[in-house]
Amino acid sequence: MSGKELRCYEDLPPSPVTHDSSLVFKTGSWRTMRPVISKEKCKLCGFCWKFCPDVSIFEDSEGYPAVDYDYCKGCGICANECPFDAITMLEEDAI
């Protein structure tokens, strides 16, 4: 402590405030199983987008769901919830 008398907010030490986005953490490196979406089987129900805990499913330019492999951790919820079996989980090493 500097021994300075605290009179107002500016006298307080700088508090730790987060200021950067977690997008720097590429959690895709955690993945062992990779979800692959088949556009032929996809009926655009949006279940995979809705149930992704990592927000890693986005809409591509054609309106189909696509996986953001930089952040997808490969939990497999999208493949489990897909009512049309349009998503298959493949081993990361096999690709």
Partner 1 sequence: MKKTIPDIELMERGHQACLGCGAAHAMRYLLKGLGPKTIAAIPACCWAVIPGVYPYSCMDVPLQYVAFETTGASISGIEAALRAKGKKEGTTVVGWAGDGGTLDIGIQALSGAVERGHDVKYVCYDNEAYMNTGIQRSSATPFGAWTTTTPVGTTKAWKLSPKKNIVEIMVAHDIPYACTASVAYPEDLIKKAQKMKDITGPCFMHIYAPCPTGWKYPPEKTIELARLATDTCIFPLYEVTNGKYRITKRIKDEKKKDVLDYLRMQGRFKSLDEGAIQSIRDHVDFEWARLLRKEECFGEEQ
Positions in the binding site for partner 1 (CB under 8 A): 16-27, 30, 44-46, 49-51, 53-56, 59, 63-65, 68, 70-71, 73-77, 79-81, 89
Beta carbon nearer to partner 1, 23 or 95 = 23
Quote the least distance from Cβ 58 to partner 1, whole Å. 9
Instruction: Answer for the pair 14, 65: CB distance below 8 angstroms, yes or no.
Output: no
Quote the least distance from Cβ 3 to partner 1, whole Å. 27
Quote the least distance from Cβ 82 to partner 1, whole Å. 11
Q: How far is CA 38 from the centre of its chain?
A: 20
Q: Which residues, 6+ apart, have CB-to-CB distance to 15 below 8 Å?
A: none
